[in-house]
Structure 1
């Protein structure tokens, strides 16, 4: 039996146990009607629920100190309607539509995830980005890395980024990650349905750099050695990657820059960044994570037909133990990951994330980053606001500002250990 679409389930340690126990009783007795009644009772119980939860952490009053390691949080600009999404998914679609429909598929599964202070925000409202910047600065986030969408000169979801560019007093540095992949109906499980094709070419290599020029020139744009930082999400999709990078470097010189600092992510097992001419590789979890599937140890709903469930604690332990590759590698961490909102019956779930585990992973990542040259010590966090993937630092109703506080605590720990080592 499916949960009501969009039902705002309350995440309280007891409610999911009540739900699954009731459904099991109903199944044993054959009372299908009673199972529906149980779901209704849980919905009402949720609506009458009280916050904050035991895990809730209120907002901080003091920012952590600045350090030589900078935390860069990926920023998804999806939270506003655009004509393309209206056509593909229905009028007024944003990622919140997916977030609101999520439901748990096993006992203890944290879904749905309900936003806290910022609510189900619309990025067309200027005050939202201003508040996001204030919160990020309060907890020591050094920059946002906006996902950038470019398809042969056609741009999507550009409104929030362009608003950021035009609003000079949004005083948090920023950079861009070109999400250079084809869009398809992956969210609905039909990957063969292509919505918008990404075609790389020599001409497009030049065009995209010229299109990025106005962002690179902004004084807030993140630079390393005076060079604007650009991340490429799927470097392996280029026809001739070495030639593309050479074109970009020549074009940046023609535009008057001292160069460009190019980062490839480790998504889809990309490696060998130095061989292709990148300056650095950034880890992009959950890509590259190799830990056992724990689904068989859980009481999982029959509606689940695919995906994997892994332990977040296992991931954190494995990441701390792994060997670091050659060249400049920017460590990556994720506060959580669960794309049930986009794939309700076949999600990839990393179960059991807590602010403490995330903070331990981040602290380790910051220490790893210190191995990089001065000025190139970055840690990428996936993400600031990927609510549809369950990967966000923004406050929610269960934890409040706990993940942000864990980020600030990691900064303080790193600052203290660095001072002691000096």
Structure 2
């Protein structure tokens, strides 16, 4: 394909409207519902257990965001990468490195944005360039090579806007020489600090709208999908809508991948007629994408609320211990330790002996077994030993069923 014969958008007004025009009561209703349900989810557990679950979900977020791009890294391989255990197969190893880069970046973003001293604003060019740089700097070299429109191999420069033209499906991205102009407009319009964005409801709708518009600009030569989803994660963090890491938009988008990509493509379209907004692009399709995005977000919050329901979780803990007792990997009293850890987040060595009504020696046998299964993390300060709740990826089907696709979960259960 000859890029010189293609017509490109060169001025930022080409991506109008940046926010849905007209009747948006449904979007406002969805934004309010997301706020309420996210707050409810955050309040379901103590902060120690909440952090453990959040850490457990981070690899899942990476898994689904990469899966959307066609990179299927098995959760077990991701868990191994977290322990620096890499496959001898180069393709698998490269996918492990990609997953690890995403996990580490997401963890860093969470810590930075939620810091009381943070001045990060996700909508800025500096933030987005830095996001791209930090993701790509740890990727294998093969993942930094892409083919241009002219089918020429190009090298992705981490953190730099593209200098080449891009066509994604039917969509021809804006002219590379105008990317800075488009991003300046993007930053100005969506900046949550602007007086025009003082309404939290509007900012939440803007997370959905800007998700599409950033993908539409396609500012980087490659990696835009992952960057856009990390950007949305950052926006949810900024607005304190992530329930402290207890849900992921990427899981929802991946599970509806066909719809997700179709809605993105539809929102690329130019307006149909004079009744379809006043901008260059379709207002109707942008509104539909925003509804889809917010409904998917709410669906994921609902899912996690059900999974983390206290009675359901305690029932699964008991079922898991029963299975491990049959397999002679745990004693029945382990259930009391796991129940207390879920409810409290951490317990002392003395607590373990008390709730199991066992001797110090026998209680240690159980906690050692739980450590081996990575269901507890032990810390020691002087003579005091504390056990912290922990949930390893390989046990996710037992404690958080449905987090991963059934085929992946079946493999994890088979290997236990």
Higher strand share: 1
Higher helix share: 2
TM-score by length of 1: 0.24
Structure with bigger RCO (C-alpha 8 Å, 6+ apart): 2
The structure having more radius of gyration, on CA atoms, is: 2
TM-score by length of 2: 0.24
